[in-house]
Each structure stands twice: as C-alpha cells, then as structure tokens.
Amino acid sequence: MAQDSKKQVEQITDMEADFTQWYTDVCIKAELIDYTSMKGIFVLRPYGYAIWENIQAYMDKKFKETGHVNVAMPMLIPESLLQKEKDHVEGFAPECAWVTHGGSEELEERLCIRPTSETLFCDHWSHIVQSHRDLPLLYNQWCSVLRWEKTSRPFLRHREFLWQEGHTLHATAEEAIEETERMWNVYADVCENLLAMPVVKGYKTDKEKFAGAERTYTLECMMHDKKALQNGTSHYFGDGFAKAFGIAFTDKDNQQKTPFETSWGYSTRTIAGIIMTHGDNRGLVLPPRVAPTQVIIIPVAQHKEGVLEANQKVMDTLKAAGFRVKMDDSDKAPGWKFAEYEMKGVPLRLELGPKDMEKNQCVLVRRDSGEKLFVSLDGIGETVAKLLDDIHDSLYAKALKNLQDNTFPAYSLEEAKKLQEEKGGFIKTMWCGDLECELKMKEEAGMSSRCIPLEQEHLGDVCAICGKSAKHMVYWGVAY
C-alpha cells in the first residue's frame, strides 16, 4: 500500500511544492494537450478539445438566443487594413506573423495572420452597411488566431489559440454599450454556471484596456495560487473604428451617421482557469457541466457472471437520462482505473461489482471530495443528477471562499506591497486614476490593476499611492 501511494504522487508534482510544474503535469497527464515541434503551438487532444466543445455548445446557444449569427472571416489581413486604426495596429503589430510569399513569388503587400479580426469585420461592414435598417449587425465567429508571443504555456498563452470573437455594429452608442454589457454578462454566466468559477466584474483602466477600445469590461478570476486570470473581455469601441474604416449609414432623418461598435472574446485560456481553480494533487477536477465524461463506470470483478451486463444496464439507464457516461471494461486493474479517472477529473465514479448486485446498489465516489456513497440502483438517474449539481455548487463555493479569503484592502502603497509579499491574492485600494500611480504599483509591488470593479466600495477619500483625491476603488494583483 505504501508503495502504491508513492507511485501515485510521482505521477503529478504536488501543487504546494511547485505550482507551475503541477499545472504542466496536469495538462499532459490528463491528456488535454500535447506539445508540437513549433514553440507555443499545441495540439488539443480529444479530451481537451471535448471540454472546449462543451463550452462552445453552451456559449453558441447563448449567442443565438441573444440574436447573434455566426460568420467565417478570412484568416489573412492585408497590412494596409491592419494599419487603419492607429491604437489597434500599435497594440497588435509587434506580435503579428506575416505571410510574405505565395508559392515562390514575393507578395506585393504582406498579409498578417489574424491576431483578432476587428479590421476584417470593419472592412466588410464598410461594404454592406448603408441604412439604419441594416443595423444592428450581431456577428460572431469561432476560429483560431495567431499572436507571436515570446513565452508560451499550455492553455495560458498559445501562439495559436481557439476562441470566439463577437463583433457588433449599432446605430447608437447606448445600444452598443448595452450590447457590450450584455455579452459581458453572458461570459459571467459561463464562468459561474458552467465552469463553477466566481468572477470579479469590472472594467479595465486605460493602461490595461484593449488596443483601440474606449472601454474594456473584464472578468477576473482567482487561481489556486492566488494569481489572477482574466477570463473573457468585452469591448466598447465607440465610433473610432467605424470612422477609421469609413463605415456610415443614413439614419431615419436622412443624415449620414457613424455607427458604434463592440467586440468580445472568450478563448481556450479558460481551460487553464478550470485547471487552476478546481484541480488538486490527484490531477484535474472538472466541473460537471463541462466534463466530457460526467460519470465513469468501473465494473468490479468484471469476469464474474452477469457483472458486465449489470454495468451495461446502468450505463444505458444513465445515458437515456441524458448524462455523459462511459464504462471502462478494459483489463486494467480497478485501482489503476480509479487513479486514471481521478487524474482526468471525471466528477463521479460508479463502481458496480457482485456484492452490489446482490443488494441492488452501486458505489458512487465524488471526485471533488472523495466521498463514497452506497446508493440504490432504483432512481440512479435522480441520484446522479443531484450529486452532479452538488459537486458544481461545492466547487463554486470552494472557489468563492478562495477569492474572498484572499482579497485584502490596503490604504497605502507600503501596505499593498506588504500584503502582496506576505499573502498574495487581490489587493483593493482607492486610486486617483493617474497612470503614474498604476506604474508605481507595478514597479514597487509587482501588481497590475486587474479591474475597477462594478461593485465599488468606499475605502477612503484618497489614492493609496499618491494621496491625492481618489476616483475609484481598484483591484490589484499578479496576473497570468
């Protein structure tokens, strides 16, 4: 037994010993991802991709319910197009990859592989928008984008990554702002109700906002190591892009007007969030609503008469009830299977052997708590449904506690620095709104502003950094 448990811990580095290594181990050993011969470009393996597919299915439904349609834009952006909006090109040009040749011939104009598609949507819209009757345009696309990052890590920062990018165009600023906030709320719903990840909702400071945006709304999550992960952003562009691209429409009053734009994106980065929010030293812990397999059935003593049939019957019942269920009837030892599916984060394990068959019961084991339950096979569907909901709720509660327990107010730069060094997490302070203070916080305490939360608290009247009159309460933290 001692040897067995030793073998288990050798598989995955303890997160307390080396959080970074733990994270990488989980990504690889849970078979989410594989490295390729290209730096920063990864294979999403079937199990990892299946998580994304579940997120995709949930989000796509929400997008369509809120009136959006999917489109497919080109992968390449001519340099001249990218350069039309000044802030935008300054933000993205340094990390663009360029296509310079077609076959053996050098191109007259080089083409950027899309790092994001604002410019493509704008160019397209400038062709098709004429009347107020053409608005709003509520578009979304599922695609991959390329950003030539200097350092990369699985899910957290890829050079190529999968995401969705929504782009919308509206007749009025009010409508566009409403849309930006609507999609921000959709993202919050995804985080909380699908992924069991509590969020801090707020908007970015000027320093941290998206290149070309007037306002960036963000969702900030806290990871197990108390670092911040930005999980979904929604941008209000005003009419800046529309003006730069010459998009105009004739309004009801026969006046030429410039429309207002939004964009919002959510990427596979969220899978890093799932891992670092819920995972433990045995591996991945998946929230039930995105888990590719919600219940893994492990027949015990499967060579004995009737065991496989009994297990098959339970699987059929659960499948018919709409659960994602698998049975592992391979000839591996049961202990191996237990460890394997724990590493892969399957929320519930169902064991069924001869002893259970006699009693018309099975064993259910929760991945999140390890709790072992002996339950009747009658009404197994209802039992599983309730347990999966319980697991979701307790994962959320645990993550929320981590967020709350590690968020601290500070009233001076010195205090913020000390809190960051000793405790980590989110530090909230009052702030005057000046860039210099933001830079000073980064310089002295190593923290960037995470967001100006929607729910403001009055911690005092003056900026914790410079002592001048305060404008907002800000969350600070070390970010991924």
Partner RNA sequence: CGGGGCGUGGCGAAGCUUGGUAUCGCGCUUGGUUCGGGACCAAGAGGCCGCGGGUUCGAAUCCCGCCGCUCCGACCA
Structure tokens at 180: 């930006």
How many residues bind RNA (CB under 7 A)? The answer is: 63
The residue (of 6 and 127) whose beta carbon lies closer to RNA is: 6
Among 208, 280, 368, 438, binds RNA (CB under 7 A): 208
**CA 4 to mean position of chain CA atoms:** 35
Among 101, 332, 423, 471, binds RNA (CB under 7 A): 332
Helices (H), 302-429: 307-320, 334-343, 354-359, 380-405, 413-422
Where b means 16+ CB within 10 Å and e means fewer, 57-70 reads: ebbeebbeeeebee
91 binds RNA (CB under 7 A): yes
Residue 171 Cβ vs RNA, minimum distance, rounded to whole Å: 26
Strand order of the sheet with strand 361-366? 325-327, 295-299, 348-352, 361-366, 372-376
Residue 96 Cβ vs RNA, minimum distance, rounded to whole Å: 10
Count CA atoms within 13 Å of residue 67 on its CB side: 10
Residue 233 Cβ vs RNA, minimum distance, rounded to whole Å: 5
**Span interacting with RNA, options 186-194, 337-345, 401-409, 452-460, rule CB under 7 A:** 337-345
Kindly tell me the burial class for residue 256, based on how many C-beta atoms sit within 10 Å of its own C-beta (0-12, 13-18, 19 or more): exposed
Among 86, 101, 133, 150, binds RNA (CB under 7 A): 150
**Span interacting with RNA, options 18-26, 288-296, 427-435, 449-457, rule CB under 7 A:** 18-26
**Span interacting with RNA, options 44-52, 101-109, 175-183, 205-213, rule CB under 7 A:** 205-213
Q: Contact at 8 Å (CB) between 478 and 421?
A: no
The residue (of 261 and 340) whose beta carbon lies closer to RNA is: 340
257 binds RNA (CB under 7 A): no
157 binds RNA (CB under 7 A): yes
The residue (of 93 and 459) whose beta carbon lies closer to RNA is: 93
For residue 2, give Cα distances in angstroms to 6, 7, 8, 9, 226.
6, 9, 10, 11, 32
| Calpha distance 159→70 (Å, rounded) | 24
Count CA atoms within 13 Å of residue 79 on its CB side: 12
Strand order of the sheet with strand 97-102? 76-78, 105-113, 97-102
Which helix (H) or strand (E) segment holds residue 43: the answer is: strand 42-44
Q: Contact at 8 Å (CB) between 139 and 120?
A: no
Among 102, 379, 446, 460, binds RNA (CB under 7 A): 446
313 binds RNA (CB under 7 A): no
210 binds RNA (CB under 7 A): yes
Residue 361 Cβ vs RNA, minimum distance, rounded to whole Å: 9
355 binds RNA (CB under 7 A): yes
98 binds RNA (CB under 7 A): no
Q: Contact at 8 Å (CB) between 395 and 285?
A: yes
**Span interacting with RNA, options 2-10, 310-318, 398-406, 459-467, rule CB under 7 A:** 2-10
Residue where the block lists tokens 């000793």 = 422
| DSSP letters spanning 201-215 | EEE--TTTS-TT-SE
Among 104, 303, 305, 422, binds RNA (CB under 7 A): 303
Among 267, 270, 294, 402, binds RNA (CB under 7 A): 267
Please report, as ranges, the residues that interact with RNA according to CB under 7 A: 1, 4, 7-8, 11, 20-21, 24, 35, 37-40, 91-92, 94-95, 115-116, 147, 149-153, 157, 208-211, 216, 230, 233, 265, 267, 282, 300-303, 331-336, 338-340, 342-343, 349, 351-356, 363, 365, 370, 446, 479
